[in-house]
Structure 1
Amino acid sequence: MDEHTPLLHLSPESASEDTNAQRTGVSSVYRRIGPQLVGSLIVDSIPVTLSYILQNSTQTVSILVTGRLGPEELSAAAFSMMLAFVTGWCVALGGGSALDTLGNRPTDLSVHFQRCVILLWLLFIPVAILWAFIEPVLLAIGEPARLCKDVQAIMRILIFGAPGYIAFESLKKYLQCQGIMRASTIVLILVSPINLVLNIFFVHYTPLGMLGCPVALSITYWLCFILLILVTFLSPTHKANATWGRLQLQAVMNLKSCFGFLKLALPGILMVGTEWAAFEIVALAAGKLGELSLAAQSVIMTTDQIIATIPFSFGVVASTRVGNLLGARSAIGARNAAHASALTSVLVGSAIMTAMLAARNDFGYMFSDDEDVVRLVSQVMPLLASFQIADGLANACGGTLRGQGRQHLGAIFNIIAYYVLALPVGITLAFSTRMHLGLKGLWIGKSICFGSVRRLTHMILGQVIGLFTVGAAEYIVVWLGTNWDKEVEKSVVRNAEEAKRRTLLEQHE
C-alpha cells in the first residue's frame, strides 16, 4: 500500500472475515498481523513523521536563532512556543482529529474539511484574546515580569500566523484521510530553509530582534498553507480520488453537522491540550527553580516537542487506517491495524530511547554554550528517554480511539494520568524540603504517573514501570473496551446521516 492506493478506496474485507475472531487472544491477533502490515505502517508513518518533525522544527529553528541573543531571549522564545502548542496549536491538532473519524467517505470529505477550517478558526478566537492579554495571567501565577512582557509581545504577533497554521493542519489532515501522506512533507522541505533565512534576517538584521521570531513564523505558516493548496491542486492522486467539490457554505454550516463535528473536535482538542498543558505546567514550575532550571527545561521541552512527533505520527497513521477500515466495514482489518500500530510504536520507541541515552552528555550544546545548562540537561535526559516506549504505545492507542470517534476517552485518561497523578508527584518531589530534587523531580513525576519511587536509587525503574502502566492501560482500553463490529455500525450511521443531510440540502437548493 502506498500513496497511489488511497485508504478511502480500500475494499471491504468483512465479507470474507470471521468477525468472531476479534474475540480471540492477543497472540492470535499478532500472528495474523504479519510483517507486511507492520512494514506498511512504518512506510506510511515516515512521511508523516518527517512532516511533523519539519513542522515543529520551524519553531525549533526560531528558538535556536533567537536564543543566540541571550538566555532571556531563549527562555522567552521557548516559553512562547510551548504556550502556542498548549493553547493554540492543539486547536488544529486536536480539532482536526474529527476528520480521522469522519473522513472515510469520499463524497463528504471536502465538506468536512471546509467545516473543519471554519469551525477551528472560530474556536481560535478566544485563544487569540488570551494571547493578546497573557501578561497579567502569567504575572498572576508568579512568572518573572520580564518573561511575561516578552511572551505577550511574541504571542500578539503570532496571532496573525495562527489561522495559517490551523488551515495548513486541516488541509494536511484532509489529504492524509485520502492516503496522501507526502504532500505536506514536500511543502515543509521547501519552506524550512526559507523559515531559517526569515528568522535570521528578522531576528539579527532588523530592529525587531526577538520579535522577528513570531514575524518569521507567521509568514512561514501562511506560506505552508498556500503551497499545500498548490501541491493539492497538482496531485494526481487527489484528482483521481475526486473528493473535492465546490465551496458549499450552506452544507458546511448546517447546525446538526457542525454539532456532530464539534462533538468529536472538542474532546480531540482536550485530548491533545491536556497532555501539552501538563508539559507547560512543568515549565512554569521550572521557572520557580531559577534561571538555570528554566533554561535547561526550555532545552528539554523543545527536544521533546521534536521527538514526540514520531509517536504522534504513528497515532496519525493509526487513526487514518482505523477510520478508513471502519468506513470500509472491515472490523478485523481495523482491529489488526490498531494492534500493529501499537507493536510498531513500541519497537520505534525502543530505538529512540537508546539514541537519547547515548547522546545525553553532549546534547545540550546544540542549544547553549553554558556548561551548567548542558550538565543539567544531561542529568534530566535519561528521564525523558525512559518513557519513549510508553509514549509511543499511548499515541498509537490514542490514534485508534480517534479513528473510532472515542476522543473523549483519551481526554479523560490524560486528565487522570497527568493531573491526578503525574503532576502532584513531580511537584512534590521538586519542591519537597526533604527530597528537593529540583528539575529532576518534575520529570520524575512526568515519567512515573502510576509508579511509585521510594528511593532515589530506584527512580529510573519506578518511572519506566509507571509510564509503561499508562501506555498499557490505554492499550487495554482499545483491546478489551472495543467491539469492532459495533464501531463499524457507528461509522455507517455517521456517514448515512451526513449523506441524508446533504441530499436534503441539495433538494432544497
Structure 2
Amino acid sequence: MDDIETQKLLADRRRSSEEDNVAANQLHLNAKGLEVLVGPWQAKNELGPRTPAYGGRGALMEEAREQIRVAAPIVGMNVVQMLLVLTSAAFVGHVGALALASCQLATSLASATGHYLLYGMALGLETLGGRAFGAGQLSELGHATYRCLLLLTLIAAVVSLCWLQAERALIFLGQEKTLAQVAARYMHLLIPSLFANAWTQPLLKFLQSQGVTAPLAACSVVALLFHVPNNWFFVHYLGWGLDGAAIATSLAYSMIFLCLAGHVFTSPRYAKARPRFSWAKATSGWTAQIRLGVPSTVMLCLEYWAFDALYLMCGMLPNPYLLVSGLSVAMNTAWLMSMTYVGLGAATSTRVAAELGARSACGAKTVARVGLSLAAALGVTAFAMILASSRWLPLIFVESTNGELLRLTSALMACVAGLSIVDSVQNNAGSILRGCGRQSLGAGVTLSSYYLVGLPSSALLAFHLGFGVWGLVGGLCLAVLTQATCLTTLIVRTDWKHQVERATASVAELSGIEALPLFDEKPPPPASNTAQSSLEAKT
C-alpha cells in the first residue's frame, strides 16, 4: 500500500514539475494574451517583442530602435509646443514693443512659477506608471493617472491664485508699473492654459508609460495648425492685440488636452488601463506620487533657474545689450537642439521603469546602456549641427550690418556646441535615475553642480578674473561636466537587482498584490525538482 501511495505521489510531483516548466516558459513567450503574466513590455505589443538575450547585439539594436521610435513623437511634441510660444511672440511683436516685452516677461514667469511645477510633478507618474505597466498592473496605472490628475489640478488652482497677484509681485521686484500691469493681465488670460496643461500631463504620462507616443505629436500638430490662424483672428482681425495672443495660447493648450482625452477615453486599446474612477483610490497613495514628484520638480527647476541666473549675471557686465543678445541666440540654439535628447530621455526613463516593474534587472541595465549610447550619439550630432550653423544662423536674429554682434554670437555658438555632447549624456543619465525612482539623488547632484560649482565659478571667472561672458559660459560648462560625471557614475554603480526589489515593493504597496516572479535571462528551474529527486532517492 505504501509503494502505491509513493508512486502516486511521484506521479503528482512529476505532473506538477511539468506544469511549472510550462508556466515558466510561457512567461517568456511574446504573446499578446500573456501580457498580464509577464507585463506588457515583455509581450508583443507597441514596443515589439522582447527577448531574454539582453546582452546580444540583436537585442541591443532592437532596444535602440524602440527607444528611438518612442522618443521621436515626444521630440516632435516638444518642438511644436515651443513653436506655440514663438508663434504668439511673433504676432505680438507686430503690436508694439510694450506688448512684446510684456508677452516675454509673462511667458517666462508663467513657466517658472507654474508649468515647470506641473512638468516636474508629472514625472512622478512617469516612474510609477512605467513600473505598474511593466508589472502588468494596468488598472493601477489608471488609478495612478487619476491620482496625478487630482494632484496637478490642486497645484494649478494654488498657482492660479498666485498669478492673480502677479502685478503686485512684479512691481515689488522692481518692474516698471505699466509693464507689470500689462504682463499681469497676460498671465491672467493664461490661467486656462495652466489648467489645460495640468490635465494634459497625466494623460501624456499615461500614454508614454505604455510606449504609445504617436498621439502626443499628432495632437500637438493639430493644435499648432489652429494656433496660427487663431492668433491672426484674435490679435489682428478682432483687434484684441496682446489679449488675443494669450487667448489663442490658452485655446491651443486646451485643444491638446481635448484631443488627448478623446483618444484615451474612447479608444478600446486602453480599456484595461481605464478602471472605474474611485475616490478612495484617487485620494490614497499620494505619498509615493509626491515623494517622486517633488525631487523631480526641484531637479527641473534648479536647472532652469540656473540659466536665468546666468542671464542676470550677463546683464551686469559692461555692454549688456550686446552680451545678453549674443548669449541668448547661442543658448536658444542649443536649447532647440536639446529637444532631441530630452525626448530620448523621456523614452529611456519609461523603459527603465517598465523593465524594473517587470522584475528584469538585466533588461533595465540594457535599456540604460543603450540610452546612454544613443544620448552620446545625439550629442555629437547636435555638436556638429550647431558648429556648422554658427556662421549663418545668427543672421536670422541679427542684422548683417552688426558685425560685432554677429562675431560674438558665432563664437559663443561654437563654444556652446561642445557643451551639447556632455549635456546630452547628463540628461539621459538623469532620466535613468528618474526611471529608477532615485529623483532625490538627481536633485542633489543638480543643486551641487549648478549652485556650488557652476554659478560660483561663472561669477569668479566673469567678474573677478575678467573673462566676461566667456567666464560665464566656462562656469556653465564646468557645471554640466560635473553633473554628467556624477550622474553617470551613479548609473555605472547601480545595483539593478536592488532597484528591481524597490520597484516591486512600490507596485505592491500601491496595488496591494504580491509581486511577480523575477523575469530575467532564462526561465527559473522547476521548484519541485529537488524535492522530487529526494523522494525518488528514498524510494
Offset of residue 235 of structure 1: 4.1
% same residue: 26
Q: Report what 1:266 is aligned to.
A: 294
Closer, same or farther in 2 for the Cα pair 1:158/1:112, shift >3 Å?
same
Is 1:84 matched with 2:118?
no
Distance (whole Å) between structure 1 residues aligned to residue 373 and residue 261 of structure 2:
34
1:396 alignment partner, one of 420, 428, 435:
428
Residue in 2 aligned with 1:437? 468
The alignment covers a number of residue pairs equal to: 465
Distance 1:443 1:346, change over 3 A: same
**Quick check: 162-171 or 354-363, which moved more?**
354-363
In the TM superposition, residue 408 of structure 1 has moved relative to its aligned partner by: 1.0
From 123, 133, 137, give the equivalent of 1:97: 123
Residue in 1 that maps onto 2:46: none
2:361 and 2:496 in contact (8 A); partners too = yes
Deviation at 1:142, TM superposition (A): 4.8
The answer to whether structure 1 residue 219 and structure 2 residue 231 are counterparts is no
Q: What is residue 40 of structure 1 aligned with on the other side?
A: 66
**Where does 1:254-403 land on structure 2 (aligned, <5 Å)?**
254=284, 257-288=285-316, 290-296=320-326, 298-300=328-330, 302-367=332-397, 369=399, 372=402, 376-403=408-435
Q: CA deviation at 1:184?
A: 0.9
Q: 1:130-145 maps to which residues of 2 (within 5 A)?
A: 130-142=162-174
Deviates more, 1:353-362 or 1:106-115: 353-362
Long gaps (5+) in structure 2: 1-31, 44-48, 133-137, 515-539
Deviation at 1:287, TM superposition (A): 4.4
- In the TM superposition, what are the counterparts of 1:493-504 in structure 2 within 5 Å? 493-500=505-512
CA contact (8 A) 1:131 1:156 kept: yes
How far residue 285 of structure 1 moved from its aligned partner, in angstroms, is: 3.5
- Greater mean alpha carbon deviation, residues 83-92 or residues 389-398: 83-92
TM-score by length of 1: 0.82
Query: Equivalents in 2 of 1:76, 1:181: separation in Å?
Result: 34
Q: Is the 8 A contact 1:75 1:294 kept in 2?
A: no
- 3-state SS in 2 of match to 1:308: helix
Look up the match of 1:155: 187
Shift of 1:434: 5.3
Partner of 2:270: 238
CA shift, 1:400, in A, is 1.0
Superposition deviation, residue 159 in structure 1: 2.0
The 8 Å contact of residues 318 and 341 in structure 1, kept in 2 or not, is answered as yes
Distance 1:259 1:392, change over 3 A: same
Task: Answer yes or no: is the 8 Å Cα contact 1:17–1:332 preserved in 2.
Answer: no
Which residue of the partner structure matches residue 478 of structure 1?
A: 491
Matched, 1:54 2:80: yes
Instruction: Tell me how far apart the structure 2 counterparts of residues 493 and 384 of structure 1 sit (CA, whole Å).
Output: 42
**Matching residue's letter, 2:510:** E
Deviation at 1:116, TM superposition (A): 0.6
Q: Separation in 1 of the partners of 2:262 and 2:457?
A: 49
Which whole-Å CA distance do the structure 1 matches of 2:100 and 2:326 have between them?
A: 10
| Equivalent residue in structure 2 for 1:191, among 219, 223, 227 | 223
Give CA-to-partner distance per residue, 1:274-322, whole Å, 9 cap, x none. Answer: 1111122223344445445455555455444433322211111111100
Report the TM-score, using the length of structure 2 for normalisation: 0.78
